[in-house]
Structure 1
Amino acid sequence: MNELASFLEYKDQGIWLQIYVDPFNKRIRIDDYYGNLQAIIEYAEKLIKEKKLEKLIFKGRKEHFQAFIQQGYILEAQIDHYFLGSNAYFFTKYFDSQRMENSHWITEDQIIHSINGMALSAETIHPPQEYHLKKVEAEDAENLAQLYQQVFQIYPTPLHDPEYIKKTLVEGTIYYCFYGNGKIVSAASAEVNQTYRNAELTDCATLTEHRKHGFMKILLKKLEQDLYKQGIYCSYSIARSLSFGMNAALHQLGYEYRGRLRNNVFIYDKLENMNVWVKNLAEQPNFRQ
């Protein structure tokens, strides 16, 4: 299913677009662009209508903020410092009225309200000795794919496939995991954008019976340390809005909430809203020690 998603480049007189076409999630995302903005928007909207998809997302720039609003786009979230220090804004437009309907919005508001009242985490977590932390290599791909098969029935990228995981490793994605009894029980990754020096912390998964040990906070901190060493300071994560645990973990690690992407991707068994969290790793004094 997910193999149908593809990255495209379109270049014509006066415009250039980097496009992620995602038929499974019925959306198109414009990751980068330059040139005449009106022509860029017209091309993207023509493409989404031709492919009969439902949601168009632009990672827009600060200087185009008002232009997108004037064109009927909705600002759903932002990522601080995404474009080499300049903010990225998620401007969206819907091409199917049902795609905008959502019955979980108020519940998710209440989750954010509860999390914002929590203190940041200063504790050092020591997992039981039978678990060990490891940076994922190609030899771990089969084991890692099995974890994702167990945790996610549906996922936006084909992490059920070991060959896909190996491909992402070659392309620069960083994974850390915890092994227990010879199998991976928890994992997370950092998807690195070398062009704009940012990274998305993603693919967070822990088997249910192992969730009491605080693995995810340890994994995310290890990923942050790797990113800092590479000079990548814009770290962000996009978490399921209904997941109290994942959103709370990000908040306690110092991430700040920056909005919610409505009906964004299919995860588990339904189309889900996703919360955007950001952190400036350059401001973390413990990384400079």
Structure 2
Amino acid sequence: MQKYEYIKQPKLEATVYKDSYNQRLRVDGFNGNTGRLWEYLMDEAVSHRFEKILIKARFNQVSPLMEKGFVMEGGVNGYFSGDRAFFMSRFLTDDRRNSSYWKEEDEILRAVQKLDKKAVDGTGLITVATVEHANDLAELYQEVFKLYPVPLHDPDYVKESMKNGTIFVCIEENGKIISAASAEVSSSNQNAELTDCATRPSHRKGGYMKHLLRRLENELIQQNIFCAYTIARALSFGMNAAFHQLGYRYRGRLANNCIIFDKMEDMNIWERDLSEQ
């Protein structure tokens, strides 16, 4: 089960993403009484055996959430139409709280941040994908990812994402998509998450991803979206290096955030203000 639910109660409004696949609850924003929200989330956690709750909170909501046992794992400065979101997490099991790779991920991050930043354009043989590309995109994601947090292996899911405003860009060779990425746009919050980055193993040395990401940024600027962020596998030197070299800044790490690649993984947050270009 993966579904959004809009909660409206006396003294509480919230947008909640119920994600049984990743065994978590995610609140993408709320207004109102923190205690009421906490009661609702705990009822859901017990009913569905969720192991982690992640809330994207505004500044004035941080202290009340800390009183409920939440810890700050990071944030995105421009998430709420230019205002900062604090990523507040509550872990409901010991296994979900403890990471086996934290020291290794710190070493990867340190090595990445030593790299020089590079000038990259978003031109070249890049296509903004349409629903006609859905089958080919799903096939790409099937090859690259054994496991993924959302069902990108399903062409219908890809089509639905496009209809909801997600922008996919891709590079084709001999009529076959070899690399792709997307921007999941939130018009209400004026931000976009750069995600779904994949390159076929046979083409990994081509350096395609930086060009795809830059093209996505150009598409977002045309829509007056200036807050771009991503949540990248903390164990992936290549993906973290790509965002660092494109000018993104590290904003924290989400422990045991989602199932991706082959297991439950920690994810690094990176952000860039596109208005600074």
| TM-score calculated relative to the size of structure 1 | 0.93
Q: Give the whole-Å Cα distance in 2 for the aligned partners of 1:123 and 1:257.
A: 19
For residues 122-156 of structure 1, give each alpha carbon's deviation from its aligned partner in whole angstroms, at most 9, with x where no partner exists. 256997xxxx3211011111111100000001101
Q: 1:181 aligns with which of 174, 185, 191?
A: 174
Q: Secondary structure of the equivalent of 2:165?
A: coil
Pair 1:73-2:70 in alignment = yes
Tell me whether 1:39 sits opposite 2:72 in the alignment: no
Runs of 4+ in 1 over 4 A off after TM superposition: 123-127
Aligned length: 277
* Partner residue, 2:118: 121
Match of 2:164 in 1: 171
CA contact (8 A) 2:144 2:199 kept: yes
Report deviation, 1:188.
Answer: 0.1
Task: Give the C-alpha shift of residue 277 in structure 1.
Answer: 0.2
Correspondence 1:224-235 to 2 at 5 A: 224-235=217-228
Match of 2:184 in 1: 191
Match of 1:266 in 2: 259
RMSD of the alignment, in Å?
1.3
Q: Structure 1 unaligned runs (5+)?
A: 285-289
CA distances 1:168-212 after superposition (whole Å, capped 9, x unpaired) = 111111010000121100000000000010000000000111111
Superposed counterparts of 1:132-151, under 5 Å: 132-151=125-144
Q: Does 2:17 match 1:20?
A: yes
Deviations 1:226-276 (A, max 9, x none): 101111000000000000000000000000000000001111211000000
Q: In structure 2, what is the equivalent of residue 250 of structure 1?
A: 243
Offset at 1:59? 0.5
In the superposition, relative to structure 1, how do residues 123 and 58 fare at CA in structure 2: closer, same or farther (>3 Å)?
A: closer
Aligned to 1:49: 46
TM-score (ref. length: structure 2): 0.97
Q: In 2, Cα distance between the equivalents of 1:212 and 1:163?
A: 30
Counterpart-to-counterpart distance in 2, 1:126 and 1:188: 15
Q: Distance in 2 between matches of 1:52 and 1:135?
A: 39
1:161 and 2:154 matched: yes
Percent of residue pairs identical = 43
Select the residue among 260, 282, 286 that pairs with 2:275. Answer: 282
